[in-house]
Structure 1
């Protein structure tokens, strides 16, 4: 039982594209296993007319488009509520239609009053869903799980922790403590050059801390492969059959908004395993 997860926020956006949501199924599975309440935000993106002198024909087309998106979001929400009931999960559903800026503000505000948020992975670097991922990471103060397609069940038998001894990685480990304690095996993975790893074992100091919390933890150091840190993480996750990767969201820019570090960006674009991230 994941005792400290009581409120789960599952975010879905309706943009008129018929895409199934892995985050919904995964989030309901997590809520079921933890006995948590699930808040399902099935928001539709509102097209706003920027020119008050746009003709009536264009205005009518936009109104019809927005109406269609509202109806699609309502249908998604109805199915989601039924899925929650079938899983025995206490759930509430909201279907707001919002401009992009309002949508970001609403999701961030909701995330701040939940233990964890879940969103579907989005490979495109510039669209509404990717913007939501970045906004929740940078602004909510809460952990986020990004769920790739096909991951419909919350699993945490084997967990891989990407450890670089940074403040963000430490926060991610602390935020994920309930999950780490419940896992059968947790691997702390430090990745660096041979020179960086020669004189120290980066996970050696964290491992006893986790062990005192009852985490079944092991430590592994790997030199960076030809595909970089993200590629090495993907390879190791596949090798151990990881159900989840826990990591800090790496950001190498002083201008925080919308800018993610290379490792995070690469994994968001290509990961077969859900990413548990904190910033």
Structure 2
């Protein structure tokens, strides 16, 4: 497996330029085609604008069009300044989660920014979680703070032998093969310290792909799994976390696994999640 098509969501607010730069660097490393996707919800005219008159409606529409043109121009300028030409711009109208998830089906990797809980204009703070669950592709999520010039030199895998974790490892193989070091973390809580998570088969599987793994076996923790993962990543100086994403939709409410929610809300390093 290799990444030959990478999709970056070009509407990450103030972090859009960071997401695009990371996407360009990754596309260059993997000799991949890069697609920057910008999506807008269908333009619905509120009742108060209809009453305000046609000129107000035109002004609102022009503001939206100008924003698209600004982001498009910035994207092409970034690619040009980095000497990258294997790219394209895609603009669509639709609801962001549905649109990005649909376009993700035609890519090997999706890059998005973490939802910023302090951004009062972010009306859909569950966008990243919903996309991860719906895309059917690995999603690389960049924290809303920090600079990430090098991603994937020191990788930490959060492993619990689940379907989602297995999918994440497989989806991350192009990155794992290029890494300088890979650590596999198997967590046991204070309540099930004797419940050893099997890792030997996973290490052997990765070794056959040319990935050498160091194992943090039977690491017992008294804190929740999500914070234990972040703590381990900090201790190892990891610059990328690979893990399964857990969750489901229940009566219009997105119910996430505990570790998944912790990482999505408090991530300190880029995280590749697969569901």
Report the TM range for the smaller structure's normalisation: 0.7 to 0.9
Distance 1:274 1:178 in 2: 16
Report the counterpart of residue 8 of structure 1 in structure 2.
6
Distance 1:277 1:105 in 2: 18
Report the counterpart of residue 37 of structure 2 in structure 1.
41
The residue correspondences of 1:147-162 to structure 2 (distance < 5 A) are 147-148=142-143, 149-162=145-158
Specify which of 137, 146, 152 is matched with residue 142 of structure 1: 137
1:265 aligns with 2:261: yes
Q: How big is the shift at 1:70?
A: 2.2
Q: How big is the shift at 1:235?
A: 0.8
For 1:80-125, what per-residue CA distance to the aligned partner results, in whole angstroms no more than 9, with x for missing partners? 11211222321101233x34x3x33321111000000000111339
The SS at the match of 1:138 is helix
The SS at the match of 2:44 is coil
Specify which of 75, 78, 85 is matched with residue 80 of structure 2: 85
Distance 1:130 1:113, change over 3 A: farther
Distance 1:55 1:199, change over 3 A: closer
Q: How big is the shift at 1:165?
A: 0.5
Report the counterpart of residue 247 of structure 2 in structure 1.
251
CA contact (8 A) 2:188 2:195 kept: no
Report the counterpart of residue 22 of structure 1 in structure 2.
18
CA contact (8 A) 2:115 2:126 kept: no
CA contact (8 A) 2:10 2:71 kept: no
Report the counterpart of residue 222 of structure 1 in structure 2.
219
CA contact (8 A) 2:242 2:271 kept: yes
Q: TM-score, normalised by structure 1?
A: 0.86
- Structure 2, unpaired ranges of 5+: none
Report the counterpart of residue 100 of structure 2 in structure 1.
107
CA contact (8 A) 1:249 1:264 kept: yes
**Number of equivalences:** 270
CA contact (8 A) 1:23 1:152 kept: no
Specify which of 47, 57, 65 is matched with residue 70 of structure 1: 65
